[in-house]
Amino acid sequence: MGLAFSGGGIRSASLCSGVLRRILQKDVPDRVKNMYLSCVSGGGYTASAYLDWKLQKVVLRNDDGTWHKKFFENMRNHSGHMCNWQNVMSGLWDSVCLLIMVLIVVVIMPSIIWFPYAFPLAYAVDFLFGDILRAQSICEGRTAYNASMLANMTRPGILKALRRVCQPPIERVLLFVIPLIIWLIFFCISRFVTRFCFATRVSKLNGTFRFVSSVGGLLFFMTVLPWFINDFISRTRVWVQVLIMFVTPVFWFFFPIIRNYASLFLVIYLYAFVVSYRVYKEDKLGIAYSDNGFNIALYASAVLLWIIPITGAFHQGIVHAYNR
């Protein structure tokens, strides 16, 4: 005979607990000597509690009859989809804990885990492509325009400047276009191999295709976004720049379909700010740039990289707790 508890989070645990309660009332487990137990996800809560009861009753012979009531009443009181609103204070507390958990999962932990890589990456991008990104666009009449010059112009002067056909440095154009092409080509190849190609030799190369695609995408975003941030976003108010980061938890909470990409967007956004901070050596997010400050952050990143395995395990635990 088999007893199976299916998955489905707290709803599955509640349903399975009701079935188990009826089974125990009828003494079904005692009538069957050999019974197989199978569980998954939320059903595992009920299954593990059932095994704990079996341990108390069969092995330790310490079943005083109160286990059923404690377990099932606790399950009933906390079987809400998100929070327990049978008690108002309990519901408020659960809501606060849920919001804090969202901030930890989406904002705090990804920043701690991924932020140490930002400063070494910014140093590498500045060393390899800094001069190309800082080069000014040459417009008609051999006049060089950048965002700071446009900020000092009058509105008619800005419109006149924008009407002119500006030619960005060819090196910067190639820096933006080539990684984009590499990223798209190898991404499409990887997707095609994953879906339609089953040959062993080609499948082994799929990892290489994904790696090249990731490198191309990283190079594209870490050059285009810092340039875009410096020339456009940095000219806005600081609260607007910060607001973009706080939009991420909102999308994470209300749009589960993009939940896996919300944290990635936040990480890329922060990386681009750090790279722009280093390449253009200008204030970002209200923080003044200095070589000494950047070097201190670079050394601190080296220290934080050693504790990433610990923080990563904690992050996974928080995600698991939120999903439950």
Domain ranges of the chain: 2-77, 99-323
285, 245 contact by CB (below 8 A): no
Greater pLDDT, 123 or 241: 123
Give the span between the Cα atoms of 313 and 103, in whole angstroms. 17
Q: Which of 107-121, 246-260, 273-287 has the lowest mean pLDDT?
A: 246-260
253, 102 contact by CB (below 8 A): yes
Give the span between the Cα atoms of 89 and 92, in whole angstroms. 5
Q: What is the DSSP letter of 289?
A: P
Nearest residue to 263 via CA among 241, 245, 242, 275:
245
Task: Calculate ∠ Cα 112-117-123, nearest 5°.
Answer: 140
Nearest residue to 252 via CA among 168, 156, 319:
319
Nearest residue to 116 via CA among 271, 241, 2, 236:
271
Query: Whole-number mean pLDDT of the chain?
Result: 77
Q: Which of 63-72, 208-217, 237-246, 305-314 has the highest mean pLDDT?
A: 208-217
pLDDT for position 175: 92
pLDDT digit string, tens, across residues 63-103: 666 766 777 777 666 665 566 667 778 778 878 887 887 77
- Crossing angle (nearest 10°) for helices 118-134 and 170-196: 130
pLDDT digit string, tens, across residues 253-262: 666 666 667 6
Exposure string for 144-158, b = 16+ CB within 10 A, e = fewer: ebeeeeeeeeeeeee
- At residue 188, φ and ψ (nearest 5 deg) are -65, -40
Token pair 């804090």: residue: 100
Q: What average pLDDT does range 147-169 have in this prediction? A: 58
Nearest residue to 17 via CA among 79, 65, 62, 61:
79
Give the span between the Cα atoms of 229 and 245, in whole angstroms. 14
pLDDT for position 142: 44
Q: What average pLDDT does range 291-302 have in this prediction? A: 90
